[in-house]
Amino acid sequence: MSSYVYMKVLESTPQRYDRGIRILSRGAIDEVYRRLADSIAEPGAHVLDIGCGTGNVALACAARGASVVGIDFNTGMLEVARAKPAAQGAGTGHIEWLELGALEIEDRFPSDTFDGAAACLLFSELTDDEQSYLLTTLLSRVRPGGTVAIADEVAPGGTVARAWWRMRRAPWVAGTWLLAQTSTRPVHGLERRMRDSGFRDVQVEPIPGDFALISGVVPTRVES
């Protein structure tokens, strides 16, 4: 069964999502959430969590004092996110949860709304054209100088390395599917796509568990 089908099944089992992703990532997903939040969140920042799912990135950003808008098209995922207690403390920011698809951002938010944006395990679910469209949208919705940070699963380059990666990953995929009916799939070419879209200072940081954090800075706009 393809990863696309896995993710479609996941939409009907959001209560199992956190458990499934933690198993599949062998615990590395918590580091992914932390790295994403560290990339875009600080006290007073207004940030967007795209495809927020069960809310872990948004909650991590709020714990760092940011004001967060978490969007997802899946009502069940948002229900799980809303039920989670936010971290308590003086630095805890506000979270607004919205039922909204990633490709509807342009219609919902005006230019320069956010100081930063994050997406976790989202871009691998989009087509190449949808990825490019979303990146172009974020160039205008995030203020110049702001960071867009994307975390997703990545596969190694090279035929032999990729074959070994698939073989090593197979038991975890099977076990996760049996327990939680969820999986992930790797994203390809995102660093290049960010540069082609116009982001500057694009960086790729590997994260244990076959993940990577790809980030870029929104450039200053040239007035026409």
The residue whose two tokens read 């499934």 is 20
Q: pLDDT band at residue 85, thresholds of 50, 70 and 90?
A: confident
Instruction: Answer positive or negative: Cα dihedral of 215, 135, 37, 56.
Output: negative
* Residue range 172-192: mean pLDDT, rounded: 57
Residue spans of alpha helices (H) in 84-216: 105-108, 128-141, 159-180, 190-197
The CATH code of the domain at 3-217 is 3.40.50.150
Task: Tell me the residue type at 164.
Answer: W
What does the DSSP 8-state code read for residue 189?
S
189: tokens are 């070419």
Give the Cα separation of 37 and 42 in Å (integer).
9
For the whole model, what pTM was predicted? Answer: 0.81
Span of 87-91, 104-108, 132-136 with lowest mean pLDDT: 87-91
The residue whose two tokens read 């054209």 is 129
The predicted-structure confidence for 31-44, as pLDDT tens digits, reads as follows: 999 999 999 999 99
Give the Cα separation of 121 and 51 in Å (integer).
8
